[in-house]
Structure 1
Amino acid sequence: MPCEEVFAGLCYGDGRDKPADPAPGIPSVTWSDLAVFRPQPAIQYMQPDGWMVVGLPTNFVAVIERHVVAGTLLGSPADVRFTPQAYRWRYGDGESARLGTTGASWEALGLREFDATPTSHVYRASGTYVIELDVEYTAEYRFAGGSWRAMSGIIVLPANDLIATAGEAVTVLVDRDCGRAPAGPGC
């Protein structure tokens, strides 16, 4: 989804400054009003760290959770709750993916290194790539601990960029299990 409107440097995906449906006695709030509340940016990392093997899966992970930012909204104490909904990776090789999961490390998934994951990507050519991640958030607000009110649309915030190099792998035959004999030939 392209950035259609920007408030305070953040992209709002629906491009409309449409107020949320207020309850009686609750003021109408627009995305412009929420511009002073900034979501936490995600942090992305990759496995292996900083390099890829051409033809094998590289695992990408975003670290971010739902969070609340406190402040003043329309002159009253308020909270805004940001919930990550989707993760848009651009892998630097012309391919991209929009996923509904942050991913997890190979270890947390119970997988071996270079196994495919829901957030992995396979590079087909050697080179240096910049991997970009944008996170799409929904937002809700409340005044003085009241009920949460949802905003329509999303806010998009970039995470940190990664720069990594993909190269060809040279395989080595080993004499025995390197886990049991780490000093063995080829380990």
Structure 2
Amino acid sequence: MVSGCAAPDAPSAGDPELPDADEPVDPAVLIHSEVAEEFAQLTLDVGGVQYDADGLGFGYRNQPLNVFVDGDVETFTEEMFGFDVTIRAIPSQFRFNYGDGSGDRLLNTPGMDRVDYAELTGQPTDEYIETPTSHVYDETGTFEVNVTTTYTGEYQVEGGPWIPIPGTVTAEADPGESDIWRIRSAPVSGDCEHSSQWGCGEAFDGETPQIFVENGWCEETGRC
């Protein structure tokens, strides 16, 4: 019998079976069963697919475009059968689909902002370097990017040891949109003198691309 606030002993490996109704019930068995059920039904808010702050989804064909998601451990605490039980969901795998027919890509990292990755790895921060989660698009266009995160779980009772939870759960990030353009270049005779000269007018026939307005690029950079 458990008294006071002492945590019950951890259950043995595997999914314990509940005893008959007329037998004493070990609180550890009840908690383990309740935790497993709650974890299987867990709904996680993982946010959305993210892009670098200096691009916000805009990129060029045949150049790496960095895409990433949050990879935080989610922790919840609640009372079960008179005990404080903490459950944590740990991201273990990330399935990236870049929307261009290249298929799913399974990774063990959520990625990060390109500048942060460049600083971490000692690479130039002002170049479009490849990251573990970046993607090179072969064609121009807009592409919906989806990321599914798989979580494993564990729990502890009253600050005791962490106990694995059977099974996994998945969560979908809100989709992102990659807007891919091509680069054109040509020799010119000198500096721009008026907007009708090649490459001297405002981009895209004088109209700011709507994607720049919608995704916040104009406000973020002040370049529109």
Provide the TM-score with structure 2 as the length reference. 0.60
1:75 shift after superposition:
6.4
User: Which structure has the larger Rg?
Assistant: 2
Aligned equivalent of 1:104, options 109, 112, 135: 112
Distance 1:172 1:71, change over 3 A: farther
CA deviation string 1:128-157 (max 9, x = no partner): 111001111111012222221101321110
Matched, 1:54 2:68: no
Alignment of 1:107-146 (within 5 A): 107-110=115-118, 111=124, 112-146=126-160
Whole-Å separation in 2 of the counterparts to 1:71 and 1:36: 15
Question: Following the alignment from structure 2 to structure 1, what is the Cα–Cα distance between the partners of residues 60 and 128?
Answer: 9
**TM-score (normalised: structure 1):** 0.71
Q: In proportion to residue count, which structure has more helix?
A: 2
Distance in 1 (alpha carbons) for counterparts of 2:42 and 2:136? 37
Report matched runs for 1:163-174 at 5 Å: 163-171=177-185
More strand by share: 1
Q: Is the 8 A contact 1:85 1:136 kept in 2?
A: yes
Once the 2 structures are TM-superposed, how far is the Cα of residue 166 of structure 1 from its aligned partner?
Answer: 1.2
Number of positions where the alignment pairs a residue of Structure 1 with one of Structure 2: 157
Structure-1 residue corresponding to 2:176:
162
Unaligned residue ranges in structure 2 (runs of 5+): 1-13, 18-25, 119-123, 188-199, 201-224
Aligned equivalents of 1:123, 1:78: Cα separation in 2: 46
Q: What code does the residue aligned with 1:59 have?
A: N
Q: Are 1:19 and 2:33 matched, yes or no?
A: no
Distance 2:86 2:162 in 1: 9
With over 3 angstroms needed to count, the CA separation of the structure-2 counterparts of 1:40 and 1:147, relative to structure 1, is farther
Identity over aligned pairs, percent: 22
| DSSP-derived class of the 2:28 partner | coil
Q: Give the aligned residue type for 1:147.
A: P
